[in-house]
Amino acid sequence: MPTTPHSPAPRPAAAERVPIPARLAHAPVSAGLVVPYITLAHRDRTRPVWGSIDPHRLGEVLHHKRCQVCGERLYDTLVLMIRPSDYLRGVSVEPGLHPECAWYSRRACVMLAGHVDRYNPAGNTPLNRCGDPLCRCRYWAPAEDTVPGREGKPAEAWYEAWIRLDDYDVFTVPADESGPAATGIALRGVPFLRLRKVRDPAPDSGDSQPMDLLAALIAARKLWETIDATDDSEANP
């Protein structure tokens, strides 16, 4: 993996407890929150490193079309959590989610729920070793604990886009002025079955945010719906 996404995965928050959907009933839980499949964790997965991604699990779910929260196969329709910068680069660096796992993440993740306006600063979650001799934590490298260029940065807007599994393609964008090389799910030319905003960008982020074409796309879709509705009412008075 050339890059790892910052984790919009659940992590402990002051927020009220979010009900766990039936699909996640058997998932490991820590501090009342489901530990997502791609979150870095000790062999005892109820001991996660919140905010860190397991790069092996990330590659596995991405290439095998699995859900980043429960780790199971995705359905015919899946949800992508994307930012305007992902849309501009044409790749969703976050793996897909089941609709119900996306529902849970929107509420349980402090970033997606809008409870925080900054990503975790570097080194916020120290990599503690555990006493389990079979645990891989002794191989954890500090690099797996950070997302270069994101630490402490203001939050971007997040959107939820629904796509068909038939349109699912893994794609790598090369490094350019907007960021390092990134592998994820291709967005260019892929029809969005649904598109809606999940959270606004941090209020103080101003000019640091990329152009929000997703907001323009939503506005255009609303406009066309209005025109279609007008046409229908004229055709069927």
Secondary structure string (H, E, C) spanning the chain: CCCCCCCCCCCCCCCCCCCCCHHHCCCCEECCEECCCCEEECCCCCCEEEEEECHHHHHHHHHCCECCCCCCECCCEEEEEECHHHHHHCEECCCCECHHHHHHHHHHCCCCCCCCCECCCCCCCCCCCCCCCCCHHHHCCHHHHCCCCCCCCECCCEEEEEEEHHHCCEEEECCECCECCEEEEECCCCCCCEEEEEECCCCCCHHHCCCCHHHHHHHHHHHHHHHHHHHHHHHCC
Distance, in Å, from the CA atom of 168 to the CA atom of 142, rounded to the nearest integer, reads 32
Compute the least distance from the CB of residue 222 to Zn ion, in Å. Answer: 29
Nearer residue to Zn ion within complex by CB, 66 or 199: 66
Cβ 151 to Zn ion shortest distance, Å: 23
By CB under 5 A, the count of residues binding Zn ion is 9
Give min distance, CB of 97 to Zn ion, in A. Answer: 6
Choose, by CB under 5 A, the member of 58, 101, 110, 182 that binds Zn ion: 101
Number of Cβ atoms within 10 Å of the Cβ of 177: 4
Decide if residue 67 touches Zn ion (CB under 5 A).
yes
Question: For Zn ion, which is the closer residue by CB, 71 or 154?
Answer: 71
Footprint (CB under 5 A) of Zn ion, residues 134-173: 135, 137
Among the candidate windows 26-34, 63-71, 160-168, 221-229, which touches Zn ion by CB under 5 A? 63-71
Q: What are phi and psi of 113, to 5 degrees?
A: -75, -5
Instruction: Output 97 or 155, the one with its CB closest to Zn ion.
Output: 97
Q: In the complex with Zn ion, which residue's Cβ is closer, 130 or 227? A: 130
40 binds Zn ion (CB under 5 A): no
Between 98 and 150, CB nearer to Zn ion: 98
Q: How far is the CB of 77 from Zn ion (least distance, A)?
A: 12
Nearer to Zn ion, 42 or 89 (CB): 42
Site string for Zn ion, 109-128 (x = CB under 5 A): --------------------
Q: Does the footprint of Zn ion cover residue 98 (CB under 5 A)?
A: yes
Q: Which is nearer to Zn ion, 129 or 188 (CB)?
A: 129
| Dihedral sign of CA atoms 217, 219, 220, 221 in order | positive
Q: Does 69 bind Zn ion (CB under 5 A)?
A: yes
Which residues contact Zn ion by CB under 5 A?
A: 42, 67, 69-70, 98, 101, 130, 135, 137
